[in-house]
């Protein structure tokens, strides 16, 4: 933690000394972990580019951030699952001279249930946003960061990225992609001045959890100690991003589960996941 704070303080002092605030672009900024992350970056002195589908929610958030932290905000309502949305967004940022110093890919969607009971369109929607949109944002903004020799990326994955999760098959697979891509880029860009971090939260108290609970009442039986606080998750992700860590798994229980999953045979993980899935179905 000392190392994290030292690096963050150095960056903040540099930004203040130059008189120019760094810019953080946050997708999925209108709620949940994305919204909490905007407060982390604003508190640290970053101007914000806020991206999500809901223009009204973004405008409300922008007003809150400006009033509380005295930072500049740019609201860019965008459906990132739409074809070419990421390219249009990147082009607009370049025209405005607002290419971000930090890119936070938090936009994502989850749907729970047996694979065969879900419509093909629902699977595709998760792939379009969780995988394709995230990859497109990286492909359009990472080259600019590398060319200038500085930048940070925070990709929001999930603890589900570390093991197969029956009844969350497509979602878990999409987050496994995010984790694998992040780890690859973190090493690929090691000497470029650009860091790439994966935030892998466990179950977190957000609207996504509320929606999942409405669809499956068994989730109400989850003990409180398994549910992370959104502000804590965001803070740890922010610190890991600013420190340039490759992976951040908030919470001792989640970190223990992650380490166990990496050392456990896949067949056993599948069986355990199946038992847990059937118990909550």
Measure the CA–CA gap between 180 and 151, rounded to whole angstroms: 20
177 a catalytic residue: no
Structure tokens at 94: 């370049």
Q: What is the DSSP letter of 264?
A: S
Contacting residues for 67 by C-beta, under 8 A, at least 6 apart = none
Q: Can you tell me which residue has the tokens 């609201």?
A: 75
Nearest to 48 by CA among 66, 30, 23: 23
Structure tokens at 167: 């009844």
Let me know the angle formed at the C-alpha of 221 by 220 and 226, rounded to the nearest 5 degrees.
95
Considering the candidates 154, 171, 203, 248, report the single residue annotated as catalytic: 171
* 60 close to 260: Cβ distance less than 8 angstroms: no
Q: Catalytic residues, which ones?
A: 171
């Amino acid at each position: 933690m000392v190392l994290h704070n030292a690096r963050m303080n150095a960056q903040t002092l540099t930004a203040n000394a130059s008189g120019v605030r760094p810019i953080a672009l946050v997708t999925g900024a209108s709620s949940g972990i994305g919204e909490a992350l905007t407060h982390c970056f604003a508190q640290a002195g970053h101007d914000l580019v806020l991206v999500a589908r809901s223009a009204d929610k973004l405008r409300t958030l922008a007003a809150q951030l400006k009033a509380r932290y005295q930072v500049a905000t740019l609201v860019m309502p965008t459906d990132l699952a739409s074809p070419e949305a990421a390219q249009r967004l990147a082009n607009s940022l370049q025209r405005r001279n607002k290419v971000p110093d930090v890119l936070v890919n938090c936009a994502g969607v989850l749907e729970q249930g047996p694979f065969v009971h879900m419509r093909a369109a629902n699977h595709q929607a998760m792939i379009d946003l969780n995988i394709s949109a995230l990859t497109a944002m990286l492909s359009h903004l990472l080259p600019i960061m590398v060319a200038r020799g500085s930048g940070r990326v925070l990709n929001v994955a999930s603890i589900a990225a570390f093991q197969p999760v029956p009844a969350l098959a497509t979602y878990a697979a999409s987050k496994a992609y995010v984790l694998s891509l992040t780890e690859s880029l973190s090493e690929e860009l090691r000497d470029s001045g650009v860091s790439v971090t994966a935030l892998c939260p466990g179950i977190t108290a957000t609207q996504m959890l509320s929606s999942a609970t409405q669809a499956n009442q068994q989730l109400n039986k989850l003990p409180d100690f398994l549910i992370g606080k959104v502000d804590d998750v965001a803070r740890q992700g922010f610190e890991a991003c600013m420190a340039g860590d490759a992976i951040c798994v908030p919470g001792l229980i989640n970190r223990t589960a992650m380490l166990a999953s990496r050392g456990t045979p896949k067949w056993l993980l599948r069986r355990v996941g199946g038992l847990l899935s059937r118990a909550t179905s």
